[in-house]
Amino acid sequence: MKISADDLFPYNFDNVLRDILEHKHTYYVFKGGRGSCKSSFVSIVIILLMTRKENRDKHCIIFRKIANTLRDSVFSQMQFAISALHLDGDFKCTVSPMKITYMPTGQTIMFRGVDDRMKLKSLKAPFGYFAFAWLEECDTFTGMEEVRSILQSSMRGGKDYWTFMSFNPPKTRHNFMNEEVLIQRDDRYVHSSDYRTVPKEWLGQQFFDDAEHLKQIRPEAYEHEYLGVPNGDGGNVFEYLEIRDITDEEISHMDRIFAGVDYGWYPDAFCYLRTYYDSTREKIYLIDELYVNKWSNSKTADWIKKKGYDDYTMICDSAEPKSVNDFRDAGLPARGAIKGPGSIEYGFKFLQTKTIVIDPKRTPNAYKEITEYEYDRDKEGNVISGYPDGDDHAISALRYAYEPLFNRRGYSA
């Protein structure tokens, strides 16, 4: 039976389909908004590749962040692809274990959640190797380091590989996948799509009506949800950011230094953050950081002194008075933060009114925390008031550093 590509996916996938079948790239990234058909396309392409005669020793592994989401998403999606290609009689689908087998050859499609990392280390194909990998909703992974770790576990023992990554771009431009797709790589093809190229009968008239309604009443939400544009309105706590190189020449003229310390051991990190405040322009510059696990107080104190950072007072987390005393005994000008009702909220408001200049090379962990720090949302997607707790060690150090300033009369948040 011959099936036209036009019956399977929108026309704007034609070029990437030819590229995949000719294997011109190794990595294929599909980003788009609701109803863009990217997941349908990837699932169908995987079946097309597996059933080619030259690929009979090649298997597929499909990943999602959480294991219990596999069955109702990618597993069902692969069943859809098999039916769309009229190959139901050639594939056997089982739930326990969750696996799809191509009966003529014994090739398999396996499914794994990344929340159980130990199971990823034991990945092994029944024969041949995993040539095809699909990371669905890969923006939900913790970052490119985790993505690389996943692929290192699966891309072994073979010559040719096709790796597919699909996601709806998060609203914030600073999500790691939104930033990753901007990096040029010769072995990667990035494809963008949205519902406007999809035949109306595939999605239903109501889908298009809902999209048009949202476009009229909330154009920014429409742009993000339906067109997949990371337009920056992602509930970011810190909106005024200047991401650029900070030169040594600039730092040589900085004389209003504010430093903060958030104590931690493991899994929480210790963070020392050194900054400069330009009061005229209301800009905070992040100069340097120490962001480590399992370092003793004496070791972190030695690092600070060797860097010559014992020249200005550092405000430390007062929840650990013994650690503050350890720093003072080591000769550091350290003192505990003065906490009280509303101090956290007021500190955040002070920082939110300033422009924060960040050089990712100088303070990579502070950069990651600050750019990805967003308000929590309820199940309806509405922003919840209050500041999220967790993964905020550099942010806490920054808040402690400026506590003497925002607590001083005359300074207002």
In DSSP terms, 192 is beta-bridged to 31
Highest mean pLDDT among 72-76, 119-123, 178-182 belongs to 72-76
Are 337 and 390 found together in one domain?
yes
Residues 185, 259, single domain; the answer is: no
Which pLDDT belongs to residue 5?
83
Statement to judge: residues 186 and 272 lie in one domain: no
Catalytic residue, chosen from 54, 136, 137, 180, is 137
Counting Cβ atoms within 10 Å, is residue 282 exposed (0-12), middle (13-18) or buried (19+)? exposed
CATH number for the domain harbouring residue 172: 3.40.50.300
Report which of 17, 89, 67, 5 is spatially closest to residue 46, judged by C-alpha positions: 17
pLDDT over threshold 90, residue 322: yes
Give a yes or no: residue 286 inside a domain: yes
* Confidence band for 173, pLDDT divided at 50, 70 and 90: confident
Burial of 99 (0-12, 13-18, 19+ CB in 10 A): middle
pLDDT bin (cut points 50, 70, 90) of residue 324 is very high
Evaluate whether 211 touches 226 at the Cβ level (below 8 Å). yes
Q: What single-letter amino acid sits at 135? A: L
Regarding whether 82 and 172 lie in a shared domain, the answer is yes
Task: Tell me, rounded to whole angstroms, the distance of Cα 315 from its chain centroid.
Answer: 31
Please indicate, yes or no, whether residues 50 and 189 belong to a single structural domain of this protein.
Answer: yes
Kindly give the pairing relationship between strand 98-102 and strand 107-113.
antiparallel
Residues 17 and 145 in one domain: yes
pLDDT tier for residue 411 given thresholds of 50, 70 and 90: very low
- Give 347-383 pLDDT, tens digit per residue: 888 898 888 999 999 999 999 999 888 877 666 555 5
Contact 242, 357 (CB under 8 A): yes
Structure token digits, residue 235: 């509930």
111 in any annotated domain: yes
- Lowest mean pLDDT across 201-205, 331-335, 406-410: 406-410
Residue 241, C-beta contacts closer than 8 angstroms, at least 6 positions apart: 355, 356, 358, 370, 371
Residues 92 and 183 in one domain: yes
One domain, residues 19 and 140: yes
Percent over 90 (pLDDT), the chain:
65
β-strand partners of 59: 130
Q: Is residue 285 part of a domain?
A: yes
In a domain, 217, yes or no: no
Q: How far apart are CA 391 and CA 405, in angstroms?
A: 24
Whole-number Cα distances in Å, 407 to 285, 311, 342: 20, 22, 11
Q: Residue 343: is its pLDDT beyond 80?
A: no
Position 408 scores a pLDDT of 59
Q: Is residue 364 helix, strand or coil? A: helix
Would residue 211 count as lying in a domain? no
CATH number at residue 277: 3.30.420.280
How does residue 412 score in pLDDT terms, banded at 50, 70 and 90? very low
Domain count within the chain: 2
Evaluate whether 47 touches 78 at the Cβ level (below 8 Å): yes
Do 252 and 158 reside in the same domain of the chain? no
Same-domain status, 197 and 245? no
The pLDDT-based confidence of 409 (bands split at 50, 70, 90) is very low
Could you tell me how far CA 55 lies from the centroid of its own chain?
33
Confidence (pTM): 0.60
Q: How far apart are CA 310 and CA 315, in angstroms?
A: 12
Does residue 193 sit in the same domain as residue 95? Answer: yes
* Whether residue 403 lies in the annotated active site: no
Classify residue 216: in a domain, yes or no: no
For the cut 80, the answer to whether the pLDDT of residue 118 exceeds it is no
Nearest-CA neighbor of 155 among 135, 169, 137?
135
Residue finishing a domain among 202, 218, 253: 202
Q: Which of 202, 224, 257 is the last residue of a domain?
A: 202
Residue ranges making up the domain that contains 336: 241-406
12 and 131 in a single domain? The answer is yes
